[in-house]
């Protein structure tokens, strides 16, 4: 009999996001969409961008309109380093793209 044991990382837990989280999520969404359509949908970007600008955009995507990806940190000499990023805005922006999908609704429009 095998018993699962909690994993203890060698270092402190770290947060992650961006493409480290987004890419696997979109791979899963694509797999669900392919299953729902009963065939491979292929390259989804054109369909996603059309949907994000269409009349159902607010139903399919949650537009993230606040926040930014600016970073403030310190260098090896403890000097402050500020990196100005981009700000979120309406519809597409370089921080959040087209927003976050409502997958249940998105799947209804991908075929």
The 10 Å Cβ neighbour count of residue 92 is: 14
Q: Which residue has the higher pLDDT, 38 or 17?
A: 38
Residue 44: pLDDT band with limits 50, 70, 90: very high
| Residue 63 forms part of a structural domain | yes
- Cα(63)–Cα(38) distance, integer angstroms: 29
pLDDT for res 2: 44
Overall pTM > 0.85: no
| Residue 10 forms part of a structural domain | no
Q: Of 14-18, 21-25, 43-47, 95-99, which range is least confident?
A: 14-18
| Residue 60 forms part of a structural domain | yes
The 10 Å Cβ neighbour count of residue 78 is: 6
Domain range for 105: 43-109
For 21-53, letters b (16+ CB in 10 Å) and e give eeeeeeeebbeebeeeeeeeeeebeebbeebbe
Which residues are 71's β-sheet partners? 83
Please tell me the total count of domains within the chain.
1
| Residue 98 forms part of a structural domain | yes
């Amino acid at each position: 009999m095998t018993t699962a044991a909690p994993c203890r990382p060698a270092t402190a837990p770290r947060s992650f996001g961006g493409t480290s989280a987004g890419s696997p999520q979109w791979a899963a969404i694509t797999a669900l969409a392919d299953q729902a359509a009963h065939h491979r949908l292929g390259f989804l970007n054109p369909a996603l961008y059309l949907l994000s600008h269409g009349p159902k955009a607010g139903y399919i995507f949650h537009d993230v309109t606040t926040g930014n990806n600016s970073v403030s940190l310190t260098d090896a000499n403890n000097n402050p380093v500020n990196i100005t990023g981009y700000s979120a805005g309406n519809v597409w922006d370089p921080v959040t793209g087209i927003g976050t999908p409502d997958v249940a609704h998105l799947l209804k429009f991908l075929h």
